Structure 1
Amino acid sequence: MPDLSSIVTFAVASVALLLIPGPAVIYVLNRSVSDGREVGLAAVAGLELGNFVHVLAATAGLSAVLATSATAFNAVKWLGAAYLVFVGLRTLATKPRVIAGDSASVSRRRSFSQGVIVNTLNPKVALFFLSYLPQFIDPDNGAAWTQALVLGSIFVVIGCLTDGMYALTASALRTVLLRGRTLPFVQRYVAGTVFVALGVVAATTKPSH
């Protein structure tokens, strides 16, 4: 088990990292503004489940394979990139519709599943945990895998809180957008462009070696 000082240092560093808007936050903001609070929170749950998959992979040493094997890295990279671009193009091709009240064009289940896929098939997340967790692991505090699992779980919990905050804040802005005719076009063009952009970014990710 990591000692208390390591946990506190890790938690503070993780909060700072998670508060910086990245692809996951952009996805949460997009889903929350476009489809409301519940769909946004479902996206958070999916993303953090994807993070936990990578925590388990890092604990088992599987993330190291992605870092050292170009074939494995490229397979995951292109699967994730292709999925993101597919979702983006499908969104751009969908005719916008006027939304009233709290109705959502994307279901909670789909938002959740997309979140899981977005993070699970993102090799950058695997490389992040592979490079980040070891900085806080001390061999004198027990088995490395136990420490990695504990620290990774803490990161996921903090991620739920910070991403949840973004989801709640963004969904509150949705009410303002619903007063006009802006939202349907935001859903189509902004959402579609964001997904395609994320796919392009994922496709340009390179192994660290």
Structure 2
Amino acid sequence: MNIEVWIAFASAVLVFCIIPGPTVILVMSQALSHGKKSVFPLVAGVLAGDLTAMTFSLAGLGGILAASSELFLILKWIGVAYLIYIGCKTFFAKVDDAQESPKTSSDKWSMFRSAYLVTALNPKGIVFFVAFLPQFISPAKDFIPQIVILVATFIVLVALNITFYTLFAGQVRERVQSRNAKKWFNRFGGSALFGAGAITASLKHS
């Protein structure tokens, strides 16, 4: 792969990462609720979700979604319902000492699962990979080395981006010790997830 092609791909991914979407809103709201120690399960969930979406795309589901408005709508509304569900849990969560960090495996698993499902079930993300990745793959060269480089680059940049957002929100959470402020962090995080659900609901099949 030419270095020029790789730089163009990395630059496009950076722009894609910087623009906040449902996944970024989710991880920031969860970090505001649980603190910066939630970074690992959230980042791991997002990366697993992106890998799943890319696998679906390469397997042909992205093309099916692009052609089928019904399947697109089904996945979209599943994602909307899940974002609203997580938003309600965050909005009405109680503030206590156990909430400061994900201390149990169930807490970590819950955050990993949330980040994974929101990322993997985003139909626009699956279709995006179908339209995006082929532009940087040369048919004159071996497919496997190219796709490995592109996927690895995408995963590293997404991991850095999500880690930054999560650490920032978690740091804000841990610097504020007021119980009332933490309650409002939960309210804000829950409201942000409702907003992410509304954004996802507005997605249209093209």
Distance 1:68 1:146 in 2: 29
Is 2:28–2:189's contact at 8 Å kept on the other side of the alignment?
no
Cα deviation digits, residues 150-187 of structure 1 (max 9, x gap):
41332122101111122222222222222452012321
Is 1:81–1:203's contact at 8 Å kept on the other side of the alignment?
yes
Residue of structure 2 in register with 1:67 after alignment: 66
Unmatched segments (≥5 aa) in structure 2: none
Q: TM-score, normalised by structure 1?
A: 0.85
Cα distance, 1:71 vs. partner?
1.9
Distance 2:9 2:130 in 1: 14
Residue of structure 1 in register with 2:76 after alignment: 77
Residue of structure 2 in register with 1:190 after alignment: 188
- State, as a whole percentage, how many aligned pairs show the same letter: 30
Is 2:33–2:99's contact at 8 Å kept on the other side of the alignment?
no
Distance 2:124 2:67 in 1: 13
| Structure 1 segments of 4+ aligned residues over 6 angstroms from their partners | none
Cα distance, 1:134 vs. partner?
2.2
Q: How many residues align?
A: 204
Residue of structure 2 in register with 1:7 after alignment: 6
Is 1:98–1:181's contact at 8 Å kept on the other side of the alignment?
no
Residue of structure 2 in register with 1:133 after alignment: 133
Matched residue of 2:20: which SS? Answer: coil
Range that drifts further, 13-22 or 68-77: 13-22
Residue of structure 2 in register with 1:108 after alignment: 108
Residue of structure 1 in register with 2:201 after alignment: 203
Is 2:49–2:119's contact at 8 Å kept on the other side of the alignment?
yes
| Aligned residues: CA RMSD | 2.4
Cα distance, 1:65 vs. partner?
0.7
With over 3 angstroms needed to count, the CA separation of the structure-2 counterparts of 1:104 and 1:178, relative to structure 1, is farther
Cα distance, 1:95 vs. partner?
5.2
Q: TM-score, normalised by structure 2?
A: 0.86
Distance 1:87 1:102 in 2: 18
Is 1:96–1:184's contact at 8 Å kept on the other side of the alignment?
yes
Matched residue of 2:131: which SS? Answer: helix
Distance 1:62 1:32 in 2: 32
Q: Which amino acid aligns with 1:193?
A: S
